[in-house]
Chain A
Amino acid sequence: MFKRALQKYAKHSYFLAIGLFYSQFASSADINLVLEDQHGQKLSGAVVELINASTHSASKTLPLAVMDQVHKQFLPELLVVQQGQQVNFPNSDNIRHHVYSFSQAKPFQLRLYSGQPKEPITFDQQGVVVLGCNIHDSMVGYIYVASSESVYKSDKKGLISLTLDTLPTQVSVWHPLQTAPLENKKIITINSQKQLLVTVNTSSPAPRNTFGSKFKAGND
C-alpha cells in the first residue's frame, strides 16, 4: 500500500534522511528509514522506491489518481503514482488553470479549463513530472511516477517503515527540493540495519514571484 500522507513542506530546507532497520528475521526485515536534511530537520514528502522490485502485474488495474487544484495550489503538492496510472486534474477553484508539464516523463498541457478536464492523463513513464500553471506562476506540483508498487513517502516525522524480504536491497531516494537535479534519484543500499538515517541536501525553493516590478515593497 502507498503511504500517501500529504505533508506540507516547511519553508526552509530539509535533508532527506532514511533510517534503515534490520529485520530480526532472515527472510523479512522491518526497517525504519529516517530522512533528514543537511540541517538535521526531518524531511517529509521524501519518496523512497525499492529498486528491482517486482513490477506490478499488468492485469492489476490501477486506481485513478487525483491532482486537485485548490486555492491556486496543487493538492496534493506531491502525488506518487505508478507507471501507467491515470491522474485526473480537477479544478476546484472558480478560476481557470492552464496545467502544463515540460518534464520528459510526461510533457502535456491542459489548456485553460475549469472543472473536470475531458479525460485523465496516463503517466506511462516512470520519472518525475513537475507541474506548473501557465497563468499562476506560484503553482508548482510534483507527480512522482514510480516503476513499482514499492514506493513510500516519508511522514511528517520524516519516517518511512519498510518491510524488506531480501537484504541487502537498493532503494532510490528523491525529494522535490533536493539540490541535485530533479530527475536524479539517490541510490542507497540497505543492509541489515534496523534503522537507517538518510540525509538529503535540499534547498529552499526560490520565491515564486509573479510578474511584477521588483520595486514593489514585497513579492507575491
Chain B
Amino acid sequence: MTNSLRNRITILCVGLVLLTTLVSLLSFWWSTSKFQEEKVNQDINVAQSVYKQYLKSKESLLLTAAKVLTSDFGFKQAVATRDAGTISSVLFNHSQRIDAELMLLLDLSGKLISANTNEDAFADNLQPLMQELLSAPEESSFVVLNNALYQVILLPVRAPRTVAYSLVGFKIDDGVANELKSLTGMDVSFIGSADEIVISSLAKRPTPFEPVSYFNTVTTTRFFGEYLVYRNLDIELASLASQPIIILLSADLTQSYKDFENLLFTLIILAILTMFVGVITSSLFANNLTTPLSQLAVIAKQFAQGNYSFEFKGKKQSTEIATLVAAFDSMGNDINEREQQISFQARHDSLTGFYNRSAMLEVLDDELDAKAEYTLVAIDIKGLRHINDKLGPRIGDDCLKAVACRISEFSDELGGFHARIGGDEFLTVFPTGAARDQKSGIVGLMAQLQACYTIQKLKISLRFSAGIVQYPTQGMASDDLMRRVLIAVESAANNQENIHYYKNGEDEAHLERLIMLDELKQAISDDDGQLFMTYQPKLHMVTQKIDKVESLIRWQRKDGSWVNPELFIDLAEQSGLIVELTAWVVNTVVSQVADWQNKGINLQAAINVSAQDIAFPGFHSALVRTLKKHNVAPSLITIELTERDMIENEEKGIKALQNLKEVGVKISLDDYGVGQTSLGRLKMLPIDELKLDKCFILKLDESQKDQFIVQSSITLGHQLGFSVVAEGVETLDSLNLLKEMKCDHAQGYYLSRPLKADLLEEWLKEYYEKN
C-alpha cells in the first residue's frame, strides 16, 4: 500500500507543498527579519535626523532670539551703561519674550554681570565655559548649569565693540524628551554623566535609573525567546569637554516583534491550510487517477480469464485515461476476435474450413447421440501426390477444396458434419437413417465424388477409397471410431477396393500388427535369434551340385509362435521398417557366405529385396560396405527382386539395379510369369537370372500346359542371356522334366526345405555322400 501510486502522488504533492512552504517560510523569515532590521535602522536614522533637525531648529531659534536680544539698542544701551537693575529686567523681559529659560550676561572676562533668574545660583566666574563656547561661535552647546541641562548659545553684545556676552539657553527637560519622542517615535534620553543629569522620555523608570544600561539590557519575553526591547543609538552632543552630554535614542522593538510574530503565525496558519488543501486535492487527484487504473487492472484480469466485455464506471476521465480505456476496449475486441480466429484455426483446416482431426474427435464426442445411428465415412483421395507432383500443389489444393465442397454438400444435406483428418483424407459423419432414406447412400456419395472435376480449366478425374464404420455398433468412443474408420480406409486403399466396410475385429488385427511391428523392430535391434535366416539349396542341373542357396528369413517370437514371413515382411514394407530388416538380412547372409567360404563351402546366396530397398539411397553403399567388411566377392551374392517390385518406379529401379550390377552382384527376377512384366520390358531389365514362379513348377509333371510355359520360358530366358531357376520342385518327375528342358537350377522341397546354416551344411554332407 505504501508503494501505491496514490500514496506516491499524495506524498509528492504534500512534499512539494511542504518544501514550498518551508522555503517560503524561511525566505519570509529571512526577508522579514531583514526588513524589520532595516526598518529599525531606518527609523533610527530618521529619528537621528529628526532629533538633529529639532535641535538645530531650537538652536536656530535660540540664535535668532539671542541675536535679537543682543542687537536691541536699548539692551545695548543698558549693557553699555552697566545699569545693573535695567540689565536684569531686560534679561528677564527678553527671556520671557523668546521663552528662553536661561539668559545670562557676562562681561568680557567671563564674570556674571546679570541673570534672568537668581544670580546667586550661578558661579561667579564662567570664563572657562565662555572660552569653550567662544571657540565655536554661534553654535549651540549643551551645558549643565545650576543642575539643569540647557541648550545654550553665547553671543557678544556689541556697542558697537563687544562690551559683554550674552548666554541664552533653553532648558532641556523631560518635556523636551517627550516632544522628541513624539516626533521620532523613540525614547530619547539626555545623559550628562559628569553631572549625573538624566533626562528621559521614559515614563516608567526603574530606580535607580541608568538609561544606558537600562535601555541596553532590558529584555522582553517573546514567542521565540528573550529579546532586547530597545535598539539604541547614542550620540555625543556638542557640549563642554569636561561635561559631555550624550543623547540616547532608543527604538522600542516590541511592536516590531509583535508584527513579526503576527505575520509569522499568519504564514504558518496559511501554510498549514495550504498543506491541508494540498493533501485533500492530491488525494482527490490521486483517487481520480488510480480509481480508473485499478478498474483497468480488474478489467485486465477479466481479459486474462477470457471475458472481453466490460463496462467502465467513471464519469469524466482525463484524455489519457479515456484513451487507455478505449485502447482496452479495442484490445479486448481484438483479442477476442483473434482468439476466436485462433481457436477456429486450431479446430479447423485452413484450406477447406473443415474440422481438423483433433477437433473432430471432440465433435464426435459431443455431437453423436448414443440413441441414433451414424455412418462414418473416411475418404482417401488416391494419387493426390501425383497430382501435386505433376500439376503443382495449387492444383492439388484446389482439388482438395473441390472434394471438400462435394463432401460438405453431401453431408450438410443429411445433417452430418465433416473433417479433414489427413493430407488427402476426409471424414464425413451423417445419420445412417437419413442416408438410407434420401440418398443412395455411400455408393451415391462415391459416385458424386468420382464425377469429373474441372480445376483451372483442367478436367481431372479422381479416384477414392472409402472406409466405413457404423456408430454405435462398431464403436462409441471418438478415438475408437476414428481409428477404425482409418483402418477401414487403409484397408480399402491397400486392397485396391473402393469401399471397405469395417468388420469387427479389424481393429484388433490392426492392433496386433502394430504390436508385431513393435516386436519386429525390437527383434532387429536386439538380434537375439528371434530372427534367423534359412537357406534352401539350388541344384545345378548339369553338374548335379548344390552351388546356390536362396536365403529366407524366419521369425520365431519369444513365445515360440512362428510368424508368417509374408505377413511380417508386408508389415515391414508398409511401415518402412523393411530397410532396416533388409540391412540385417544382407549383413547376416553375407557373413554366412563368408563363413562358408572359410569352411571351403562354395555357395552363392540369393537375398530377397523389395522395391523400397532398391529405392533406398543407402542400400547400394551399405551392400558394398558389408561385402568389403566380410571380404566376400560380389558375385557370390544374388539380389532377388519380384516382378511387381521391379516395375514400380521403373526407371529409378533400373538405374539402381544397373548400379548394383556394376558392383558385381547378380540380379534375379523372382516370381517370373505371374506378374505384369511384358517381354518388351524384360529385355531391358539388367538381370542375370529368371526365377520361374513356383505355380508353374509345383504340378509340372501333371500339367502339359505348365510344361509348355516352362519350356518356352526357359528357352526365352536362355535366348535373352539369362540363366533360369525353377522353384517349387517337389517331385523327381518334375526335376527330370526340368533337366530335359535344360533349366539351369532347381529348388524345392524335393531337394530340401529351407534349412538353418548348420543344418544345411549337414544336408550338404549327406547329399554329397548319397550322390
Contact = CB atoms under 8 A, between A and B. Distances in A.
Interface stretch (A32-40, A47-55, A114-122, A126-134): A126-134
Contacts of B80: 102, 107
A131 B160 contact: yes
The interface centre, meaning the residue of A137, A181, A206 with most chain B CB atoms within 10 A of its CB, is A206
Given A102-B81, A134-B73, A137-B71, A213 B159 contact: no
Nearest to B63: A214
A137 B158 CA distance: 8
A90 to B, nearest CB: 19
A213 B63 CA distance: 8
A137 B76 CA distance: 12
B438 to A, nearest CB: 141
A208 B60 CA distance: 19
Interface in B259-287: none
Q: 8 shortest A-B CB distances, which residue pairs?
A: A132-B160, A102-B80, A214-B138, A140-B160, A102-B159, A134-B73, A130-B161, A211-B71
B440 interface: no
Given A211-B67, A211-B71, A214-B60, 14 more contacts: A102-B80, A102-B159, A107-B80, A107-B81, A132-B161, A137-B71, A139-B160, A140-B160, A140-B161, A206-B162, A208-B160, A213-B64, A214-B63, A215-B60
Interface string B38-66: 00000000000000000000001001100
A18 to B, nearest CB: 23
| Chain A, interface SS category | loop
B685 to A, nearest CB: 153
Contact of A102 (B64, B76, B139): B76
A137 B162 contact: no
B709 interface: no
A165 B685 CA distance: 202
B537 interface: no
Nearest to A177: B161
B38 to A, nearest CB: 31
A139 B63 CA distance: 22
Nearest to A214: B138
A8 B73 CA distance: 28
A100 B64 CA distance: 24
Interface of B: 60, 63-64, 67-68, 71, 73, 76-77, 80-81, 108, 138-139, 156, 158-163
Contacts of A102: 76-77, 80-81, 159, 163
A185 to B, nearest CB: 16
A182 B71 CA distance: 21
A59 to B, nearest CB: 35
Contacts of A133: 160
A215 B61 CA distance: 12
18 contacts: A100-B73, A102-B76, A102-B77, A102-B80, A102-B159, A107-B80, A137-B71, A139-B160, A140-B160, A182-B161, A206-B156, A211-B68, A211-B71, A213-B64, A214-B63, A214-B138, A214-B139, A215-B60
Interface in A102-160: 102, 107, 130-134, 137, 139-140
The interface centre, meaning the residue of A102, A134, A182, A215 with most chain B CB atoms within 10 A of its CB, is A102
Contacts of B156: 206
Contact of A130 (B67, B73, B160): B160
Contacts of A107: 80-81
A100 B76 CA distance: 11
B163 A213 contact: no
A140 B60 CA distance: 27
Interface in A158-186: 181-182
B658 to A, nearest CB: 147
The interface centre, meaning the residue of B156, B158, B162, B163 with most chain A CB atoms within 10 A of its CB, is B158
B159 A130 contact: yes
A208 B158 CA distance: 9
Nearest to B163: A102
A107 B83 CA distance: 14
A53 to B, nearest CB: 28
Contacts, number: 42
Contacts of B64: 213
A211 B72 CA distance: 11
A199 to B, nearest CB: 22
Contacts of A181: 108
Contacts of B139: 214
Contact of A213 (B60, B73, B77, B160): B60
A133 B158 CA distance: 11
A4 B163 CA distance: 28
A75 B73 CA distance: 23
Nearest to A130: B161
Interface string A92-105: 00000000101000
Nearest to A212: B67
Nearest to B155: A209
A140 B163 CA distance: 13
A66 to B, nearest CB: 20
Contacts of B161: 130, 132, 140, 182
Contacts of B163: 102
A97 B325 CA distance: 113
A131 B80 CA distance: 13
A133 B160 CA distance: 8
Contacts of A208: 158, 160
Contacts of A134: 73
Nearest to A103: B80
A49 to B, nearest CB: 20
Interface in A181-215: 181-182, 206, 208, 211, 213-215
A142 B538 CA distance: 195
A133 to B, nearest CB: 8
A116 B161 CA distance: 25
B60 A132 contact: no
Contacts of B76: 102
A171 B108 CA distance: 27
A130 B80 CA distance: 11
B134 to A, nearest CB: 10
A206 B162 CA distance: 9
A132 B158 CA distance: 9
A144 to B, nearest CB: 14
A36 to B, nearest CB: 23
A62 B641 CA distance: 200
Nearest to B64: A213
A137 B160 contact: yes
A207 to B, nearest CB: 9
Contacts of A206: 156, 162
A83 to B, nearest CB: 22
Contacts of B71: 137, 211
Contacts of B63: 213-214
Given A137-B71, A211-B71, A132 B138 contact: no
A186 B114 CA distance: 30
Contacts of B77: 102
The interface centre, meaning the residue of A137, A140, A213, A214 with most chain B CB atoms within 10 A of its CB, is A214
Contacts of B68: 211
Nearest to B81: A102
A47 to B, nearest CB: 16
Nearest to A98: B73
A122 to B, nearest CB: 21
A211 B68 CA distance: 8
A139 B108 CA distance: 21
Contacts of A140: 160-161
A102 B63 CA distance: 25
Nearest to B73: A134
Contacts of B60: 213-215
